[in-house]
Amino acid sequence: DEATSALDSESEATVQAALDRLMAKGGATVVLVAHRLSTVIGADKIAVMHQGEMVEHGTHSELVARGGMYFRLVERQIARQSSVIQEGQPDTKEADVVDKIIDQMMAKKG
């Protein structure tokens, strides 16, 4: 399971910031296994796995533009976050990620 799945948003942001600093230093390969878009969106390469097989790979923008499995996962996660936000329990960090993803998706379609 994802290492940050049991963390609150503030703790998750702290872990993500530490990972971002590690990756920014360079000189090492960092492999993240995640379900949350906020964890992988900035990765140099994303590999989409399905039933033990890599079915897609590329950057976030490339995968969204292809409209495949990753794109469908993005849409599903956006819909889920949108419903949480509409129910009056917004998580501003995750809402910002959703906004960023929607902007990127709209730019690809337009």
The total of structural domains in the chain comes to 1
Residue 17 covered by a domain: yes
User: Domain containing 87: what range?
Assistant: 9-109
pLDDT tens digits for 2-12?
666 677 777 87
SS3 43: coil
Kindly state whether residue 4 falls inside one of the protein's structural domains: no
Radius of gyration of the chain (CA): 14
Out of 17-31, 62-76, 82-96, least confident range: 82-96
Task: Name residues whose C-beta falls within 8 Å of residue 16's C-beta, 6 or more positions apart in sequence.
Answer: 4, 38, 39
Q: How far is CA 65 from the centre of its chain?
A: 15
Q: Residue type for 68, please? A: G
Asked if residue 51 is part of any domain, the answer here is yes
**Does some domain include residue 68?**
yes
Residue with tokens 């079915």: 55
Q: Whole-number mean pLDDT of the chain?
A: 78
CA 62 to chain centre: 14
